Amino acid sequence: MKKAVCIISGGMDSAVSAALTKAEGFGIIAVHFNYGQRTEGKEKECFRLLAEDLEASDRYEIDLPFFTQIGASALTDPSIEVPTGGIEPGVPVTYVPFRNGIFLSIAAAIAEKHGAEAIVIGVVEEDSSGYPDCRESYIRAMERAIDLGTRAETKIAIKMPLVHLKKSEIVSTALELGVDLGHTWSCYREEEEACGVCDSCRLRLEGFRKAGVEDPIPYRRVES
């Protein structure tokens, strides 16, 4: 069976990306990164549930503690507040410097080890928080760099099946595939009840609203 290394954060986008990959006939190698993010425990819990749902053949939980040493992001530096006033233009303070580049580099090492044909990442360019490392052009550049930095016989494609979808389309796709969205978490701030007001919660809730279905995870409050 052809194999794909799926980077699974525990969020909705990576869960749907991995489910689409499984539906294409790939065996799933599930990879999760703990990098000192505020909701690390909840994301890890969701990753484990999703890996079970996907029947992943191999599972990696990799600790990257240096992200907190670098800081410069509201997700990894507790002195920087996560914004709750609504999505604004530009790169937000929740951007973690070069996070996806580092994730993809590690995923490439795992893919080469297992002889996998693909790395799958759930980046979304058109309906996201404005992160520069979620752009298709950037991911394609990383694909080229990985090709140059691996053995000649190693051929790894980076798949980003959601990159041009809206959140509502991602919700609809999840429902079509039977993805348990109760096993996903998107909130940047809280682990028991999603805050409902950070950028990630707002995007997720708007996606569910436009898709015409109710989000199964609990929320502390929801802004209209």
Q: In the chain, what is the straight-line distance between the N-terminal and C-terminal CA atoms, in Å? A: 46
pLDDT reported for residue 128: 73
Q: How far apart are CA 95 and CA 9, in angstroms?
A: 15
| Complete DSSP assignment for 39-96 | THHHHHHHHHHHHHHTT-SEEEEEE-THHHHH--STTT-TTSPPP-S---SS--TTPP
Which residues, 6 or more positions from 66, have their beta carbon under 8 angstroms from its beta carbon? none
pLDDT along the chain (224 residues), means of 10: 98 98 98 98 98 98 98 98 93 97 98 98 87 96 98 98 97 98 98 97 96 97 63
pLDDT reported for residue 194: 98
pLDDT reported for residue 156: 98
Q: How far apart are CA 205 and CA 100, in angstroms?
A: 24
pLDDT reported for residue 224: 54
Which residues, 6 or more positions from 106, have their beta carbon under 8 angstroms from its beta carbon? 31, 33, 62
